[in-house]
Structure formats: structure tokens, C-alpha cells
Amino acid sequence: MTAVAEVMDYDEVLERFDPVLGLEVHVELNTNTKMFCGCANVFGGEPNTHVCPVCLGMPGALPAVNGKAVESAMRIGLALNCEIAEWCRFARKNYFYPDMPKNFQTSQYDEPIAFNGYLDVELDDGSIFRVDIERAHMEEDTGKSLHVGGATGRIHGADYSLLDYNRAGVPLIEIVTKPLVGTGARAPEVARAYVAALRDLLRGLDVSDVRMDQGSLRCDANVSLMAKDATEFGTRTETKNVNSLRSVERAVRYEMTRHAAVLVGGGKIKQETRHFDESTATTRAGRTKETAEDYRYFPEPDLVPIAPSREWVAELKAGLPQPPWVRRKRLQEEWGLSDAELRDLVNADALDLVAATVDAGAKSDDARSWWVSYLSQQAKTLNKELAELPITPAQVARVSALVADGSLTNKLARAVVDGVLAGEGEPDAVVEARGLKVVSDDSALTAAVDEALAAQPDVAEKIRSGKVAAAGAIVGAVMKATKGSADAKRVRELIIERCS
């Protein structure tokens, strides 16, 4: 038997199959308190300090719905062009998991608060892909397990596990798309662009801090392949909790190439959950996927149904903020950007960072250049999202101001940014500590100019005879001698002065 290739070449996948995507995004709401109790809803904290009988699932404890969470759920639904249920209920989703002390998750099952919507997503080339939304429903988050003693941090090989219930009962909204067909080769891009657009939308609504790195926005990517002549969807896998935009794209792409290899090799795709490994950009099998029947859903008897009045819904709809794409249009005009420049900015995930840098006093062109070029390169090198870089918009604005007033050359400015990224403190402290100020002290520069002229007498002679363009070679020599810290404009002036 010949060995089956583990993955198929991407182009070949597309010759034989059409991908079908389904994306489930979980969003933790930023309400002050949890979904069904008054415990503080905050990230982190000492383990098991934000808990009470309700979120610990103690016998006899009675939950009550957080009104603010219901309001956020409806605003999300409305922003996604969904219908809002006139009447809906919570259900118990029964299963055992140590980080879920009640042994059921309070969720919505067949009666979601919002359903039948869509989100228009802009792709890299400016075209729009409409993502149909099946539903957005309310549920609660689970606690967290910490597996101690193993090499991998996973339960296998661990000596023991610790449980932290601070996150148990945090309000979650799960947003589920309909099956996305017709994406073809762009399936990975559509997945990434959708999660990015959704994140922008949620940030604009101020309902969540949408931090993928902290898990307040998590994406499960369902992928299946249909042979070109097939009439039914293939078996799907669900890659869980992918925690960056880049990983969403890579996970979808990997699963497409893996499914194709299995199918062409005569195998079957197992319906299962999978985990994405950031370091290898591959997925590995998790648990075999349960079906809805396995959960024995039934209506939650301890909570009253939710029946939002149409007046309330209309009021929330009227109060929705400007959608992000409208804001983008406004910034594009304010900053004088072409469509392509705006798209680069959005694709680099730099729009908010640039806006914040401009708010901190930088010129929009300078702010844009920093984030889209140098800082984007650094983010790539460090394998981080741009927003995760350890530099703030205010710090970038400060470096930009130092360049504008002539204290730093562009080259020195990059060294200052490197210092900030390396944790050496504020830009001014880095300038001081690394001695990065531009040398505009004429006596020091004149000495360097004289030295350079003396070293290249033929060039010096040309300049003296009126060939000013030859000064470039001397400027270069001075910049080299001063390790880039000289004020190039002043150096040129001095060269002309010394040669006239």
C-alpha cells in the first residue's frame, strides 16, 4: 500500500473540491457582572475569587438573567441585521466537564434571541462577500482548567489539574453563520475577513473587549469539502478556539488540504473537533463530535422566558453606532487616502492604531507609515498581532514628533522604536540611554565633514568646481562615520560651505 500524503497541494484541492465553511464565534460580553449572578465579570484575578453559590452550581442556588447582557445580545443581533425573537428561553445543555460545576451549561437551543441576519465582509481586493448569519444566542462561559506537571500543559501526562471558576458564568454570545458556499480559493481569506469584520463591529458596539489573545473573542472554524460533482455537503471538522485572525486563515487552509488528502486517499473524514497548533500551523484531533441529541437539551425551569417589547428593540436599533465601514469612509476622507491605501491599512489591522496615534498628535501620514511598514514587519518577525506589540500609539506619536522637530532621523527613530519594543521604556528614555540624538552640533559635524573631504580629495575637488551633486558621496561618508546620527540636511549645507 502506498502511503497517503498527509496534505494535498492547495491548487489541486480546488481543482477537485469546493470548500464549505461554517464559523462559530464566541464573544465574552463586557458587562459588569456575570450572566446569572452578581459576581464581577473581570479577566484574570486570583483563582476562585469571583465566585458565588450560583456560578459554582451549589444545590438550591437560583440564577437571574443579567438585563444588560440581554441588551448587548439584542444590539449584536440588530447590528448583524438579525430578527429579534419576541419570546425566547434558555435551555440546559447537559454534559459533564470539570470546569462546569453545574454539569450543564445554561444556553439557548432552539429559541435564540437573534436569528436570520447577515454581515457584508470586504475582502482584500475590495469585493464584498455576504456572510449569512444563522443565529446569535446567549449562553455562559465555563471555568478554566490548569493541567500541572506535564510537558505540554495538556491533560495527558499532567500530574494534577487545578480549577478556576472565575470565568464560569461570564456572559457569552455565540454567533453562528449559515454554511458559506461559493468561496472557492478564497475560503481562508473569507474566514479571516469575517472574523475581522465581526470584531470591528463588536468593538464599535462596545459590548466586548474582543481580545482574541485573552479569549474574549474565539472562533471555531467548521470546514468540509464537496467533490465537484457532489450534491451534498461533506463531513465537517470543527477546529476549536482559534485565537488570532492569522490562525483562522491558516487553520481553514490546513483543514482543506488535509481533508482533500484523506478523501482522495479513499479515507473518510471523521466528524470531530480539532485543535490548531500555532507553531506548526497544523491541526490535531480532539474529541469525537457529539450531536445535539447527546446533550439532552431541555428548557431551563429556573429562568423566566425573555420577551423583549418591540419598543425596546426599536429603541436599541435607533441607538446603534455608526458601523465601522462608515467610520472608515470618514477617516479615509480626513486622511486623504486612496481606496488601496485604506485597504492596506485595514488589512494590516492598523486602522484603530493609526487613529489612536493621530489622536495622540501625530500626522496621519507619519502614523500610517509607522504602523503599516516598520511595525508590521516587527509584528511579523515576532509572530504577533500588530496590536499586541509592546508599543502604544502615544509612544509612536512621541517618536514621530521627535522626527518632525529634527531630534531624530528616520534611522534613529527606528532604533528608538526597537528600544521601546525591547522594553527599555518611553521613547525619550531610550533616546537618552542609547545616545540616539541627532548630532546637529556644528563643531562636531564640521570635523566629520572635513575628515570625509580629506579622505576623498577627488570628490572634494569636483564639489569645489561647482559639481554640487557630488556632495552626496560625502554626506554618505559622514552619515556612516556618525552611525546615522547626523542631521543629513545640515551636513549637506556644511559640505557646500566648506567647499565654496
Please report, as ranges, the residues that interact with Zn ion according to CB under 5 A. Answer: 37, 39, 52, 54-55
Cα 72 from Cα 114, distance rounded (Å): 11
Cα 197 from Cα 128, distance rounded (Å): 11
Least distance from Zn ion to the Cβ atom of residue 140, Å: 10
User: 172 or 453, CB closer to Zn ion?
Assistant: 172
Q: Which residues, other chains included, contact 11 with Cβ-Cβ below 8 Å and sequence gap of 6+?
A: none
User: 52 or 387, CB closer to Zn ion?
Assistant: 52
Least distance from Zn ion to the Cβ atom of residue 94, Å: 20
Least distance from Zn ion to the Cβ atom of residue 61, Å: 9
User: 5 or 40, CB closer to Zn ion?
Assistant: 40
Number of H helices, E strands in the chain: 17, 14
User: 168 or 478, CB closer to Zn ion?
Assistant: 168
Helix, strand, or coil (residue 166): coil
User: 64 or 285, CB closer to Zn ion?
Assistant: 64
User: 143 or 234, CB closer to Zn ion?
Assistant: 143
Q: Contact, 227 vs 19, CB < 8 A?
A: no
Secondary element (H or E) of residue 147:
strand 144-148
Least distance from Zn ion to the Cβ atom of residue 38, Å: 7
Q: Contact, 73 vs 66, CB < 8 A?
A: no
Cα 267 from Cα 147, distance rounded (Å): 34
Helix, strand, or coil (residue 362): coil
Least distance from Zn ion to the Cβ atom of residue 90, Å: 16
Greatest alpha-carbon span in the chain: 98
Least distance from Zn ion to the Cβ atom of residue 54, Å: 5
User: 40 or 394, CB closer to Zn ion?
Assistant: 40
Cα 148 from Cα 132, distance rounded (Å): 42
User: 64 or 496, CB closer to Zn ion?
Assistant: 64
Cα 492 from Cα 446, distance rounded (Å): 11
Cα 336 from Cα 345, distance rounded (Å): 13
User: 46 or 311, CB closer to Zn ion?
Assistant: 46
Cα 234 from Cα 500, distance rounded (Å): 80
Least distance from Zn ion to the Cβ atom of residue 304, Å: 19
Least distance from Zn ion to the Cβ atom of residue 104, Å: 16
Least distance from Zn ion to the Cβ atom of residue 207, Å: 20
Least distance from Zn ion to the Cβ atom of residue 117, Å: 31
Among candidates 30, 81, 29, 25, which has minimal Cα distance to 196? 25
Q: Which residues, other chains included, contact 34 with Cβ-Cβ below 8 Å and sequence gap of 6+?
A: 40, 41, 50, 55, 66, 140, 169, 170, 171
Cα 40 from Cα 45, distance rounded (Å): 10
Cα 259 from Cα 235, distance rounded (Å): 9
User: 52 or 331, CB closer to Zn ion?
Assistant: 52
